[in-house]
Amino acid sequence: MTKGSLFIITAASGTGKTSLVKQLIATTNDLAVSISHSTRKPRPGEIDGQHYHFVSREIFADMIKQGEFLEHAEVFENYYGTAQSTVEFMLSNGLDVILEIDWQGALQVQKLRPDATTIFILPPDRQSLRQRLSNRGQDSQEVIEKRLAGSVNEMSQYVNFDYVVINDNFDVALAELKSIIIANRLTLAKQQERHAGRIEQLLSE
């Protein structure tokens, strides 16, 4: 079985990353998203174990001490982390895995897994970013302003990523993300591994 590839998708809050990743998973075979651990409270409609593994700060701190995270970071006074065991299990079963994480976590993973393909999603403009954050209807105005203030710093990190996708049109952005996944699967190394028998037969005299 061909081992899966690791993809990191990052964006500023309100850029539409979660919706894009959800549709990408739904329309692409053998692709899954790693479910992160988080100390924040679930938003309305979020399910533990499906959207995040919601844990206490004490449990999260213990997991850090045990070295269980591939990456972890504090974002807006809450902690988020990706368990190494979860990612390795999926990759070893032939799935391509998406880490939907912030830029701090992305840079941590890049150091440990330089083979990971990194993608940064940008909004078309700041007005769209503000509108998306306000339309959620789940955060206070204070929280929205705090997220907007931090977004410029977040977006400036795009230079550290392999690919940049601008989410101006949802369908176009989705197609661009999918093309990155497919192109990765067609590299020489992946095709040699996946079709070793076929290639050997083709070249044998």
Do the Cβ atoms of 16 and 167 come closer than 8 Å?
yes
Cα→Cα distances 82→12, 49, 101, 111, Å? 18, 13, 9, 15
12 is in an annotated binding site: yes
**Cβ neighbours of residue 90 closer than 8 Å, sequence gap 6 or more:** 4, 32, 34, 97
Do the Cβ atoms of 1 and 96 come closer than 8 Å?
no
27 is in an annotated binding site: no
Residues marked as binding?
A: 11-18
Residues marked as binding for ATP?
A: 11-18
